[in-house]
Amino acid sequence: MTPFRFHSEQSLVRTTGMMAQSLRALQQGLARASLPCIFFHVHHALFRRSFTRADFMNDFARWAWVTLHEEALAERLSVVDPLQYKHIREASDHLRAIVSEALGRAEFIQHVERNQAFYFQEAQTFICDTGLVAQDLHDFAQMVRTVRPDVIFHHFIEARLRLARDENDFSLWIDEALHRPDLAARLRQLSPYRHDLRSLRKTIADLCAQEA
Amino acid sequence: MESDGTVTLQDYSSVMSEEEMAELRALARPLAGARVQHINSTRVGGGVAEILARLVPLLKELGLNARWDVIDGDADFFRVTKMFHNALHGDPADFVERDFEIVRENARRNLHIITNDDDFVAIHDPQPIGLMDARDDRARGKWVWRCHIDISEGDPRVLRFLRPHIERFDAAIFHLADYAKDLAIPQFIMPPAIDPLSEKNRELAPEEVRLVLERFGIDPSRPIVLQVSRFDRLKDPVGVVQAFKIARAWNDCQLVLAGGSASDDPEGEQVFAETREAANGVPDVHLLALPPDAHREINALQRGATVVVQKSLKEGFGLVVAEAMWKGKPVIGGNVGGIRRQIFQGDSGFLVHSPEGCAFRIRQLLCNPGLARRLGENARQYVKDNFLLPTYLRMWVLVLNALRRGRDPIIDLGT
């Protein structure tokens, strides 16, 4: 049986030189932003939700709410589930359409100061072997409970985009190496966007421990 | 800790798991033996020197051949670079051409520091930036400018002087995205860090905390509201007194404003007097003018506080906020600068815009110990994840890897 090797994912954040001081500029930025930039603000936002309330699915929603006080817009941005899209550009287009619609309805467009601007950023990611190797489901359930949130991010979120299907590294291994399709299916159904990475980790560990 | 006071990675085992240490070593493995030169303008005093004193030995422990050099400068040079510093922060300054020449002359006197056989050269802040003139573009070394200040709204004359130097670097590093400028080189984001092993942040026994509080006439058995900052109008100590007056009408509490000694700063002396005047007749206000090395006392005050306030009207990163958060305290911060990047409203503290807002949050926290405890726990976790020295070290290792490996969005460092 192929063992499961846990990998971690460390990120270095860069500026892109783009910023938005209004909704109009946010709309334009969403159109121009690179895919790594959208990925950062949509998926990496999970790291910034480790304890914050689940109001903000992504950085765009958070900025609309906290800085622009555009609460209706923030709600609509928040409900976008980025994992529903196979390609990050599709998620970006959807977010931009929501911003465009809000702009169409706006009676005036608020401009904020530079220090309250939305800064478009992106991350460079470094993948590293953690040295943790699970030989069976029992090992896996124990190890997954204590790995860092970035390990969960790598195998559960980034994997789905890397594999370009409704799959993640955990479910793939459990299905193909352990031949446990039911458990794999239950893991596939989990969404990190319902909670945060730590809660997701606990849910995965609990599910696997029950089945081990 | 070594006998000479040098820290080792193992000293950070209370904030870093064995897996994290192993990962850090794995991240550093591709850099083994790389020569890394850090250069700044002072060996002692100031946050940059404090951080380099920790960072360089830890990089060595990770297998890099790291060293730290300091440029020489006379009083005239440091007068001009202090003006640069203030002007980059947006304060008006009256430059003459001779000032820029002084900086160029100083760089020429220090060019010998650059040997052009390092793999990486990290220049900290604007003072040594003229050393870029010694860079041999044919040499293999990658150069990075680590800027510890906010230059986003800096004086255009200083920026015009610095920009040609900055844009010859391979990359720049800023604390926050909003501190950066539109530059023609990659710009990484690396927030500053606090050192959990320093006198300012290390664990203290409850007994020591109690003794320090009592030494300053503070009652440890009653709630304490604390602001630690120099007596500066931008830290709004008078606003904190106003907030305390409102809050005290509802809740029994004491206010402690602890700052630097007023005697070494004429404006500080004036603000101290204004604060004393504002507090005149208000019971339970303690104004403490502490010497610059009172780190342990500040640590004890923060640990003894019930609520910590940092009601700045303008702020850089505001590491004093991270210090209090690290001690598990609920912090009420002004909604400005880097404070906004540390406090998530209602989750790891509160952000306020006015003395009234500050008073409201003080009352809320004093009346809800459960809320205060939850915010404090979240705050400590957030600082642990983002603003401690081991994270800062890891960021440096990533930057060096990125400089070597280029702009690929995903880099697999293998085992």
Place B18 in a pLDDT band, splitting at 50, 70 and 90: confident
- In the structure encoding, which two tokens stand for residue B385, read together? 């994840």
Asked if B68 and B151 sit in the same domain, the reply is yes
Asked if B157 and B107 sit in the same domain, the reply is yes
Q: H-type helices in B9-131, by residue range?
A: 18-28, 47-61, 75-88, 97-110
Q: How many beta-carbon contacts under 8 Å exist across A and B?
A: 95
Q: Which residues of A touch B410 (CB under 8 A)?
A: 124-125, 127
- In the structure encoding, which two tokens stand for residue A19, read together? 């910023």
Average pLDDT, integer, range B310-326: 92
Asked if A104 and A58 sit in the same domain, the reply is yes
Strand partners, A126: A10, B411
Asked if B279 and B188 sit in the same domain, the reply is no
Asked if B186 and B259 sit in the same domain, the reply is no
Given this model, what pLDDT does residue B89 score? 77
Asked if A108 and A139 sit in the same domain, the reply is no
Asked if B380 and B396 sit in the same domain, the reply is no
How far is B398 from chain A, CA to nearest CA, in Å? 7
Number of domains in chain B: 2
Q: Token pair 């015009």 is at which residue?
A: B160
Q: What is the dihedral of CA B238, B244, B245, B246, to 10 degrees?
A: 120
Alpha carbon separation from A12 to B61, B243, B266 (Å, rounded): 22, 40, 42
Average pLDDT, integer, range B65-93: 89
Asked if B212 and B175 sit in the same domain, the reply is no
Asked if B248 and B168 sit in the same domain, the reply is no
Asked if A166 and A78 sit in the same domain, the reply is no
Asked if B215 and B351 sit in the same domain, the reply is yes
Asked if B397 and B372 sit in the same domain, the reply is no
Asked if B172 and B265 sit in the same domain, the reply is no
Strand partners, B310: B333
Average pLDDT, integer, range B86-104: 87
Asked if A117 and A132 sit in the same domain, the reply is no
Per the domain annotation, does B413 fall within a domain?
no
Tell me the helices (H) and strands (E) count for chain B, helix number first: 14, 13
Asked if A41 and A58 sit in the same domain, the reply is yes
Kindly state whether A104 is in contact with chain B, defined as any CB-CB distance less than 8 angstroms: no
Alpha carbon separation from A13 to A52, A194, B190 (Å, rounded): 20, 25, 8
Q: Which residue is closest to B30 within chain A, CA to CA?
A: A128
Kindly state whether A115 is in contact with chain B, defined as any CB-CB distance less than 8 angstroms: yes
Contact present, A34 and A15 (Cβ < 8 Å): no
Burial of A187 (0-12, 13-18, 19+ CB in 10 A): buried
Q: Token pair 């196979």 is at which residue?
A: A86
Asked if B18 and B44 sit in the same domain, the reply is yes
The last residue of one of the domains, among A69, A100, A122, is A122
From B187, B378, B402, residue closest to A124, measured CB to CB: B402
Place B88 in a pLDDT band, splitting at 50, 70 and 90: confident
Average pLDDT, integer, range B95-119: 94
Average pLDDT, chain B: 92
Residues B349-389 pLDDT 10s: 999 999 999 999 999 999 999 999 999 999 999 999 899 99
Q: Which of A94-103, B2-11, B175-184 has the lowest mean pLDDT?
A: B2-11
Average pLDDT, integer, range B237-248: 97
Per the domain annotation, does B414 fall within a domain?
no
Interchain pair A131, B385: CB under 8 A = no
Number of domains in chain A: 2
- In the structure encoding, which two tokens stand for residue B260, read together? 């630097």
Rounded to whole angstroms, how far apart are CA atoms A103 and A77? 13
Q: Which residues of A touch B152 (CB under 8 A)?
A: 114-115
Q: Which residues of B touch A130 (CB under 8 A)?
A: 19, 22-23
Residue type, B314: K
Asked if A117 and A146 sit in the same domain, the reply is no
Given this model, what pLDDT does residue B2 score? 67
The last residue of one of the domains, among A66, A98, A122, is A122
Residues B126-148 pLDDT 10s: 999 999 999 998 999 999 999 99
Place B3 in a pLDDT band, splitting at 50, 70 and 90: low
Interchain pair B27, A126: CB under 8 A = yes
Rounded to whole angstroms, how far apart are CA atoms A29 and A92? 10
Asked if A85 and A133 sit in the same domain, the reply is no
Asked if A184 and A138 sit in the same domain, the reply is yes
* Angle made by CA atoms B153, A124, B173, in degrees to the nearest 5: 30
Place B262 in a pLDDT band, splitting at 50, 70 and 90: very low
Given this model, what pLDDT does residue B385 score? 87
The last residue of one of the domains, among A122, A156, A188, is A122
Asked if A204 and A189 sit in the same domain, the reply is yes
Q: Which residues of B touch A128 (CB under 8 A)?
A: 23, 26-27, 413-414
Residue type, A52: T
How far is A117 from chain B, CA to nearest CA, in Å? 8
Query: Beta strand B187-189 with B171-174: parallel, antiparallel or unpaired?
Result: parallel
Q: Which among B112, B107, B120 is positioned nearest to B146, based on CA atoms?
A: B120
Asked if A135 and A199 sit in the same domain, the reply is yes
Suggest the residue from B16, B25, B344 to mutate for an interface test with chain A (most A CBs closer than 10 A): B344
- In the structure encoding, which two tokens stand for residue A48, read together? 């910034």
From A15, A114, A125, residue closest to B410, measured CB to CB: A125
Name all contacts of B48-55 with Cβ < 8 Å and 24+ positions apart.
B48/B124, B48/B125, B48/B148, B50/B195, B50/B198, B51/B192, B51/B193, B51/B195, B51/B389, B51/B392, B52/B124, B54/B7, B54/B195, B54/B389, B55/B389, B55/B392, B55/B393, B55/B396
Asked if A144 and A101 sit in the same domain, the reply is no
Query: Beta strand A118-134 with A4-20: parallel, antiparallel or unpaired?
Result: antiparallel
Low-confidence ranges of chain A (pLDDT < 70): 48-56
Rounded to whole angstroms, how far apart are CA atoms B223 and B225? 7
Place B55 in a pLDDT band, splitting at 50, 70 and 90: very high
Interchain pair B394, A10: CB under 8 A = yes
Given this model, what pLDDT does residue A165 score? 77
Across the beta sheet with B187-189, the strand order is: B65-70, B35-40, B120-124, B142-146, B171-174, B187-189, A4-20, A118-134, B410-412
How far is A120 from chain B, CA to nearest CA, in Å? 9
Per the domain annotation, does B199 fall within a domain?
no
Interchain pair A115, B399: CB under 8 A = no
Asked if A116 and A186 sit in the same domain, the reply is no
Interchain pair A117, B346: CB under 8 A = no
> Which domain range does residue B101 map to?
9-193+388-405
Q: Which residue is closest to A114 within chain B, CA to CA?
A: B178
Rounded to whole angstroms, how far apart are CA atoms A119 and A20? 7
Per the domain annotation, does B330 fall within a domain?
yes
Most confident residue range from B80-84, B176-180, B282-286: B282-286
Interchain pair A50, B385: CB under 8 A = yes
Rounded to whole angstroms, how far apart are CA atoms A64 and A74? 5
Residues 369-408 of B with CB under 8 A from A: 378, 381-382, 385, 394-395, 398-399, 401-402, 407-408
Kindly state whether A21 is in contact with chain B, defined as any CB-CB distance less than 8 angstroms: no
Query: Beta strand B142-146 with B171-174: parallel, antiparallel or unpaired?
Result: parallel
Asked if B371 and B306 sit in the same domain, the reply is yes
Per the domain annotation, does B226 fall within a domain?
yes
**What global pTM score does this model have?**
0.90
CATH number for the domain including B123?
3.40.50.2000
> Which domain range does residue A44 map to?
11-122
Tell me the percentage of chain B whose pLDDT exceeds 70. 97
From B187, B345, B346, residue closest to A14, measured CB to CB: B187
Q: Which among B142, B145, B144, B137 is positioned nearest to B118, based on CA atoms?
A: B142
Per the domain annotation, does B201 fall within a domain?
no
